[in-house]
Amino acid sequence: MISDIIAIIRDYWLLLLIGQYPNGPLGGLAATLILSVLAIAFAFPVSIALALARLSKSPFLNWPVTALVYFTRGVPLLMLILWGYFLVPLATGANVPSFLTMLVTLVVYQGAFLSEVVRGGVVALGHGQMEAARALGHSYLGAMRYVILPQALYNVIPSIISVFVSTIKDTTLGYVINVPDLTFAASQINNQLLTQPFQVFFILAAVYYVICWSLTRVAVATEGRITRKRAGTVPLQTAKSLKLAALTDQPS
Amino acid sequence: MSSFDLTEILGNPEYVSMLLLGIKMTFVVAIGSWTLAMTLALLLLGLRYAPGPFGNAFVTVYVSYHRNVPTLVQLLLWYFGIFTLMPDPVTFWLNDHNAEAIFAVIGLGLCQAAYFSEDLRSGMRAVSPGQMEAARALGHSYVSAMRFVMVPQGVRNALPALVNHSVSLFKNSSLAVAIGVAELTYAVKEIENLSFRTFESYLLVTVLYLVFSLMIMAAGAYIARRADPLRRARP
């Protein structure tokens, strides 16, 4: 069993790492990581905009975004991917690579989840910060930009890392629309070997485990750092943080 | 492209029966794996508190694996990997009894158990130890202090997280399509293939998923309201 696993890694490590690049699209682990990093990089500004809209008192900003958040929380990501697969080529009128479709879907999906995290960070700061900033002559947006968001975003860094971990796990769903990622590479290997599915998928699980576990450790360490740094200044809102943890820590 | 027309799907008895079968299978998978997950979560929680280092270490490894490996990969490992390692009689029996659905329930249930047990644990940890001491001082035994003081508060703390994860379990039942379970996502792909009505069929199934998820969220909010001691204390 173990010798089989070593043999598979020896024979197919390049396919697992970069897919069929340069003879085909970039795939494997590289594609998984690039896809996740791009998704979270685009989702971050989107999520701040969504969070600000949800925090605003204007119903025209508030309601559509609340609806979007409930929509993304209530519909399986798989269904959103199918929508993306159908709508993105329709909207752009071109033959879009599945990688791009997946990226767009992930930005929408994780943007909505991340906006809840950002909103949670802002709410957890309390009213005092905003009131003090306003009293000092900041406009609403100025207070957000210079007082609220810098603190709130700093406090939610661990949750952002957790969302990044879920994004990595979510990229596996690209499998259904043939995004050439790590899972796709593993199933290609499985189709070539045919006789050793357990070994192939074991390697796949192990690779994901190593990446996500390390990132989770980073999140935990950062959380400890931030808590120590902010000791005494952040109110202990156990129920709120539990709810937040459940949002960011999604199985996928 | 033809214009939007839902009756193309809802008016066709064949498609409607496919949808209904899909809904049924989604619920079989979701409820089956929820039950398995909750049972296992309670066992894992018990192991956490069990004396000796072994139980705690086991649960740590269990939770770590199931939280850091994508659910889809866990399902693939179960269905394509572990299934083939099983002895022949078991394989035959499983093949006769919808092996795909059984492995979907096992895979999703084992994965979700890790999340549920962590929810319950952090809920219990949020109850101040003073509660236990006070209950003991008032003459409760350990078990009865747990039963009447600690667990009700712990579960109440964990409720929002449990509801969120129940919703995501329901959503994740759609992953079963990757191992060929004929649930709702499978049904929509079939209907789309047959009818070429992509927009209508996706819209229908999206609304169905959304309604069921919102119902779970609403049920969670109702239970949370019912369990709120401030509300219960009022006449």
Q: What is the pLDDT of residues A218-232, one digit of tens each?
A: 998 998 888 888 775
Helix axes B13-49, B99-125, angle to 10 degrees: 40
Chain A residue at shortest CA distance from B159: A243
Facing B167 at nearest CB: one of A73, A77, A83: A73
- What residues are paired with A26 via a beta bridge? A19
- The architecture of the domain spanning A25-182+205-248 is Orthogonal Bundle (1.10)
- The DSSP 8-state label assigned to residue A24 in this structure reads S
CA–CA distances in Å: residue A1 to residues A125, A223, B117, B163, B172: 53, 39, 32, 40, 31
Choosing among 1.10.3720.10, 3.20.20.70, 1.10.1740.10, 1.10.1040.10, the CATH entry for B7-229 is 1.10.3720.10
Indicate if the pLDDT at residue B193 is higher than 60. yes
Largest CA distance in chain B: 75
Cβ neighbours for B158, distance < 8 A, ≥ 6 positions apart: A242, B119, B120, B122, B123, B124
Task: Determine contact, residues B83/B98, Cβ cutoff 8 Å.
Answer: no
Among A172, A193, A202, A244, the strongest candidate for a mutation testing the B interface, having the largest count of B CBs within 10 A, is A172
Q: Do B171 and A76 touch (CB under 8 A)?
A: yes
Q: Do B178 and A175 touch (CB under 8 A)?
A: yes
Q: Do B188 and A82 touch (CB under 8 A)?
A: yes
Q: Do B160 and A198 touch (CB under 8 A)?
A: no
Question: Cβ contacts (< 8 Å) between B65 and chain A: which residues?
Answer: 209
**Separation of alpha carbons A133 and B26, rounded Å:** 50
Global ipTM? 0.88
> pLDDT tens digits, residue range B139-152?
999 889 988 999 88
Question: Cβ contacts (< 8 Å) between A209 and chain B: which residues?
Answer: 65, 68-69
Report domain extents, chain A: 25-182+205-248
pTM exceeding 0.90: no
Chain A residue at shortest CA distance from B171: A76
Helix axes A2-18, A28-55, angle to 10 degrees: 60
Chain A residue at shortest CA distance from B196: A86
Residue B223 φ then ψ, to 5°:
-65, -40
Q: Do A175 and B72 touch (CB under 8 A)?
A: yes
Report domain extents, chain B: 7-229
Query: Tens place of pLDDT for every residue, chain A, 252 residues?
Result: 889 899 989 989 988 998 888 888 888 999 999 999 999 999 999 999 999 999 998 999 999 999 999 999 899 999 999 999 999 888 888 788 899 999 999 999 999 999 999 999 999 998 899 999 999 999 999 999 999 999 999 999 999 999 999 999 999 999 889 999 999 999 999 999 888 899 999 999 999 999 999 999 999 899 888 888 877 554 555 545 555 565 566 666
Facing B73 at nearest CB: one of A79, A205, A242: A205
